[in-house]
Amino acid sequence: MEMSSEDRGRHGALLYESQDAYREFAVPFLSEGLEVGEGAIVAHTRPGLAMMREALGSDAAHVTFVDVSSAYTRPARTLASYHQVYVEQLGKSPSLRVVADVQFGLDPAEWDLWTAYEAVFNRSFEHLPAWVVCTYNANGTPDPIIDGVWRTHPEVHAGDAWHTSDRFEDPDELLGELTPEPRPLSGLRSIGFGRDLEEFRDGLARVLAAEKVSDTTVLDMLLAATEIAENAIEHGGGVADVRVGHADGRFVCEVVDRGEGFDDPTAGYLAPRLGVGRGLWVARQLTWRLEFFAAPDGFTARIWL
Amino acid sequence: MPSDRLTPRQEHDLVIGAEAGDADASRKLVEAFLPAIVGVAAHFPTAVRVERQELVQEGVAGLLFAARRYDTSLETPFWAYASFWVRKSMQELVAELARPVALSDRAVRGLALLGRARSEYLQAHGSEPTDGELSRATGLTRTQIESLQATQRRPRALEEPLDGAAEAVATVGDTIVDPVAEREYEQVLDEIEIDEVRDLADELDARERRVLRAHYGLGEPVQTLSQIGGRLGLTAERARQIEVGALQKLRERISRAAPVRANV
């Protein structure tokens, strides 16, 4: 069945309990798409990719294989990595099907972070003609993660059938619920903005050099901070202050503007498209974390390096 | 098992440095946790033969991945967090090696041809043919013969006797310098490639890189746009335009939209 306009941003999940079950789903799913000219992507660890290369047979020559062993570092970077692959594939085919094995990790302290990633995934690529199935090995996966799968995917393939998830939650609301409130930081010092973006970058570069931040990271930070500052100028009535310092061992930079700010948990997570600004998408990829909050002295964007 | 070579603060700083792509921090982090990784590899359960060095290398990759993912503000100690990814990397290597080598039809035919030629030579001469004799008999090149034979070769295990005898006096393992026993961590570290994070500046042309590096002091003393322009034979304004253009190029590279067709 050729993908229709209703299939844009289709995001499902597969809960599998054996490699056979994974193959029995993934091979027909991808082959059906290939038959009608869709692109196909398999994202898995190296053993999983080897298994799928064999299982797909001659179809494997038409599939893009992505090693995810090192992909799931931070949600924004993972989204960007997948987006890069989708961009390349959509340059060759009008639509695509993806099976992606999620590398969740077993530390409970980070489950909310990756559940939030799955929630925002629904929105990140909603504009793309792509049917993405996130795959989870249900054996040995903790119940809270499985519960998170049902909360973040409108449809889940379990057993031998697709099920509409009655636990699926609105992505924006779930993302907001799972995003921790920024905590107050003390010890940051004001460095001011300067007359323009160039002076702002000059001043920030001097601070970063004094902190002995690596050259690679300096450029990342200057680019990210420029995006934040441009946002503040264009949408926030101008930059009121810039503060820098350290917290949790990381370099922190706050850009305070004069505007009312926004309350959008998806800010910076939406893959580039018409009508959506790209500045925060860029900034999220280049930094450890971005936080946005209203403060007594203005709306604040906090960059963690 | 935390690293006894680092204070918590040092560990914390190295993890953050490694996450940011600092190659020196990555190397020091690996150096500090290499004993722990080697310890995991030494007791790693595996039903297939795999070189311990390979397991350690995979473990290092797992450690560095963990460093890029680990949130230092959380309470979980770094090794408690990273050891999961170290073991997972090793598991993936073992799973990969446990898979039978998938041969093409052509390779299968080549092996059959080699097998027949070897059998015929043995019957005719009573001895094993050399690669040269196999090449003449089959028409395959020596390189092709070596490649085909490699697919049939299993990796030798550390415990395997050197001379094939039931009671060997030495094993393969005895001939391999044990980097742990001889504390040759430096040798091990040298052999483990630590991939440096690609510098964003690699996306730029040489002049753009020069302007950015010089203006922001990246690996060299800070210069004003006037100084930069002077060295390049340009005005300060032209140098500024190059800088703005470079930043815009990087922005567009990172934020490239997907080519969505309107008729889908």
Least confidently predicted of A115-129, A233-247, B173-187: B173-187
User: ipTM beyond 0.95?
Assistant: no
pLDDT in tens, B103-135: 555 665 677 678 778 877 877 777 778 888 888
Length of chain B: 264
Residues A32 and A162 in one domain: yes
pLDDT at A4: 61
The pLDDT-based confidence of A8 (bands split at 50, 70, 90) is: confident
Which CATH architecture describes the domain B105-151?
Orthogonal Bundle (1.10)
What is the rounded distance in angstroms from the CA atom of residue B180 to the CA atom of residue B182?
A: 5
Q: Which residues contact A201 (CB under 8 A, 6 or more apart)?
A: A222, A225, A226, B216
Residues A172 and A198 in one domain: no
Q: Note down the domain range covering A226.
A: 189-304
Q: Do A281 and B255 touch (CB under 8 A)?
A: yes
pLDDT at B163: 40
Give the CATH number for residue A42: 3.40.50.300
Does position B207 have pLDDT exceeding 80, yes or no?
A: yes
Rg (CA), chain A: 21
Residues A81 and A218 in one domain: no
* Other Cβ atoms within 10 Å of A41 Cβ, number: 21
Give the CATH number for residue A252: 3.30.565.10
Residues A96 and A35 in one domain: yes
Whether A147 maps to a domain, the answer reads: yes
Q: Which residues contact B240 (CB under 8 A, 6 or more apart)?
A: A198, B225
Q: Do A129 and B260 touch (CB under 8 A)?
A: yes
User: What is the DSSP track for A44-82?
Assistant: E-HHHHHHHHHHHGGGGGGEEEEE-TTT-SSHHHHHHHH
Which of B61, B96, B215 lies at the smallest CB-CB distance from A50?
Answer: B96
Residues A174 and A272 in one domain: no
Residues A174 and A193 in one domain: no
Closest-CA residue of B relative to A53 is B102
What is B200-254's CATH number?
Answer: 1.10.10.10
Whether A184 maps to a domain, the answer reads: no
Please name the residues between 245 and 274 in chain A that touch chain B, using a CB distance below 8 Å. 248-250, 271-274
Same fold, B105-151 and B200-254: yes
pLDDT at B150: 55
Please name the residues between 105 and 134 in chain A that touch chain B, using a CB distance below 8 Å. 105-107, 109-110, 113, 127-129
Question: Residue A194 — left, alpha, or beta (φ > 0 → left; ψ -120 to 50 → alpha)?
Answer: left
Which of B75, B93, B212 lies at the smallest CB-CB distance from A219?
Answer: B212
What is B8-98+182-191's CATH number?
Answer: 1.20.120.1810
Domain boundaries, chain B: 8-98+182-191, 105-151, 200-254
Whether A183 maps to a domain, the answer reads: no
Whether A33 maps to a domain, the answer reads: yes
Which domain-ending residue is among A132, A154, A178?
Answer: A178
Which residues from chain A sit within 8 angstroms of residue B74, using beta carbons? 107, 109-110
Residues A130 and A218 in one domain: no
Residues A160 and A218 in one domain: no
Least confidently predicted of A28-37, A184-193, A252-261, B102-111: B102-111
Cβ distance B88 to A42 under 8 Å?
A: no
Please name the residues between 137 and 196 in chain A that touch chain B, using a CB distance below 8 Å. none
Which tokens sit at B186? 């430096």
Residues A137 and A201 in one domain: no
The predicted model scores a pTM of: 0.80
